[in-house]
């Protein structure tokens, strides 16, 4: 008996140690996440948690760790269930931190319908704040001055929204004060509010119906149940909602009326987004600027064929109505200085978009100046965020990079690689493509190749990627295709090509945070070639 009790005690101690280890690892994960969140991220988390945590407690928050403690105290967050934190990171677009919780962006998206806690109202307000520039905020503050305390400084859009909620001027049932100011300041902002209100009305209409088939009929009449279904599960649900008999099994499972109604709502969300997707404004008198950085001459090598790429890009983007500026053989410092110069150009205000094409050698997540010094692609793109370049806020910013993103490969005659000649074994580790674009809206990054691999350039005809890009733009813009559809065709074109030896391939890769379709207006003149 004594031996049995000893074994039981040892077992209990072992179990306790294991629990302590798990708890320690969990808190270490939270600490690492907290350390990677800046002041703006913490402010965003506080705002998104407003419906979950008492406002008086949130006011004392100084760091993300403080928020995590409050969520754990209310049992919203624990070792077994970290989804709320994953949802919060997803909402503030800190996607790279999701892996610390064992999630990906796609996994979070899949489970939002089932486990999401942030209300559509709170999401709408946060998305609205993300699109309010500093200039818009000044205008809104001026319009609302009679409702704001005297001598009260508005530090951010989130501060303003929080104040309006405290005063009872803004609630999930009454967003009129926002509508009134958005009509004057930016009709684009008004669209987000309208979409939220329509969703609310449809939600109420669906749940007031006596049976799910009437609700499904309502959605059909609204055009919310077309043939488009993004995943198998959504296709199953569309089939269910289109069925004649209630209680018909789908995949061997029977669903109740309430369960089906929730599925109606999930499908509604999907299709309301799909059907309301609009295009960026591209009908202004000035299309925008297009920068081409063409690095040809390096100390010990020359990127032959690159001038062919630069010439073709200049012809095509000029044809598309952009004001093209070409810069040749820039060092890393000169590239950074150029970005800083164009960041401050006031003429962006009268343009519809901004495009930058870079032709050079490269490594994972970076390109080389002619001095063989790396420049992070993230650093380049971050010059044109809404905060750094307010004139381009809410406008599409496109970057096309022709450069290797991995190890140099020796190629046969006529085929060269856009990788560096020097020994670069000590250079940085690989960078995920999603980390090369700012975590905010309206960016597109078109890479000649996936991370870790070389990209190919014909020494006479130019690079595979740039030549395919120019060719598809000339072919598909006159057909009214959007940029993502065009880049998909570019992928197909490049993927079919082979090096002369027939052993080397290439696959381009786009990454984007575009909120709308980007469609070039169809030029009056025929394509340049």
Q: Of these residues, 361, 383, 411, 470, which one is catalytic? A: 361
Which of the 8 DSSP states describes residue 518? -
User: Residue 67, Cβ neighbours under 10 Å: how many?
Assistant: 25
Rounded Cα distance, 97 and 76, in Å: 19
Beta bridge partners of 363: 366
Stretch (H or E) spanning 362: strand 362-363
End-to-end alpha carbon distance in the chain: 92
Catalytic site residue 229?
no
Which of the 8 DSSP states describes residue 442? S
Q: Of these residues, 49, 94, 238, 404, which one is catalytic? A: 404
- Name 212's Cβ contacts closer than 8 Å, sequence gap at least 6: 241, 246, 257, 260, 261, 264
How would DSSP label each residue in 64-93? HHHHHHHHHHTTSS-SS--HHHHHHHHHTT
Rounded Cα distance, 489 and 511, in Å: 15
Catalytic site residue 348?
no
Distance of CA 259 to the CA centre of its chain: 31
CA-angle at 302, arms to 299 and 303, nearest 5°: 135
Place of tokens 């309208």: 194
Q: Which residues are known catalytic residues?
A: 361, 404
């Amino acid at each position: 008996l004594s031996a049995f009790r000893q074994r039981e005690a040892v077992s209990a101690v072992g179990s306790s140690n294991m629990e302590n280890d798990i708890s320690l690892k969990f808190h270490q994960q939270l600490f690492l996440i907290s350390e990677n969140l800046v002041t703006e991220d913490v402010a965003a988390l506080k705002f998104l948690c407003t419906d979950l945590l008492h406002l008086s407690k949130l006011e004392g928050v100084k760091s993300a760790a403080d928020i995590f403690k409050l969520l754990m105290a209310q049992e919203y967050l624990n070792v077994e269930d970290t989804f709320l934190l994953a949802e919060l990171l997803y909402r503030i677009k800190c996607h790279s931190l999701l892996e610390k919780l064992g999630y990906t962006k796609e996994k979070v998206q899949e489970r939002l319908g089932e486990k999401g806690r942030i209300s559509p109202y709170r999401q709408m307000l946060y998305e609205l704040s993300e699109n309010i520039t500093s200039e818009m905020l000044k205008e809104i503050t001026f319009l609302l001055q009679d409702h704001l305390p005297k001598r009260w400084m508005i530090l951010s859009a989130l501060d303003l929204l929080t104040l309006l909620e405290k005063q009872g001027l803004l609630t999930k049932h009454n967003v009129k004060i926002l509508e009134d100011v958005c009509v004057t300041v930016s009709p684009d902002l008004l669209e987000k509010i309208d979409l939220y209100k329509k969703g609310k009305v449809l939600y109420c209409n669906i749940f007031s119906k006596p049976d799910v088939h009437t609700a499904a009929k309502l959605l059909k009449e609204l055009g919310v149940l077309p043939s488009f279904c993004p995943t198998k599960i959504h296709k199953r649900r569309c089939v269910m909602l289109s069925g004649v008999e209630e209680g018909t099994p789908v995949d061997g499972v029977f669903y109740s009326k309430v369960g089906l109604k929730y599925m109606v709502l999930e499908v509604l969300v999907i299709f309301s987004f799909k059907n309301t997707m609009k295009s960026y404004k591209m009908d202004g008198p000035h299309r925008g600027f297009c920068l081409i950085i063409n690095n040809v001459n390096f100390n010990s090598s020359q990127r032959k064929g690159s001038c062919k790429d630069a010439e073709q890009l200049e012809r095509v983007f000029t044809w598309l109505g952009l004001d093209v500026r070409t810069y040749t053989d820039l060092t890393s410092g000169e590239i950074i200085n150029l970005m800083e110069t164009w960041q401050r150009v006031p003429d962006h205000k009268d343009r519809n978009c901004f495009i930058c094409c870079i032709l050079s050698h490269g490594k994972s997540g970076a390109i080389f100046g002619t001095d063989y010094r790396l420049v992070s692609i993230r650093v380049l793109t971050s010059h044109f965020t809404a905060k750094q370049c307010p004139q381009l806020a809410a406008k599409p910013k496109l970057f096309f990079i022709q450069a290797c993103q991995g190890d140099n490969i020796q190629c046969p005659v006529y085929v060269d690689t856009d990788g560096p000649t020097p020994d670069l074994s000590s250079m940085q580790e690989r960078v995920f493509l999603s980390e090369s674009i700012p975590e905010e809206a309206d960016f597109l990054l078109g890479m000649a190749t996936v991370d870790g691999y070389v990209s190919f350039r014909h020494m006479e005809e130019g690079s595979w990627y740039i030549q395919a890009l120019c060719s598809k733009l000339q072919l598909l813009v006159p057909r009214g295709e959007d940029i993502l559809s065009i880049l998909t065709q570019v992928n197909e074109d490049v993927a079919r090509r082979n090096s002369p030896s027939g052993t080397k391939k290439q696959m381009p890769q786009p990454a984007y945070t575009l909120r709308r379709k980007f469609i070039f207006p169809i030029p009056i003149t025929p394509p340049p070639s």
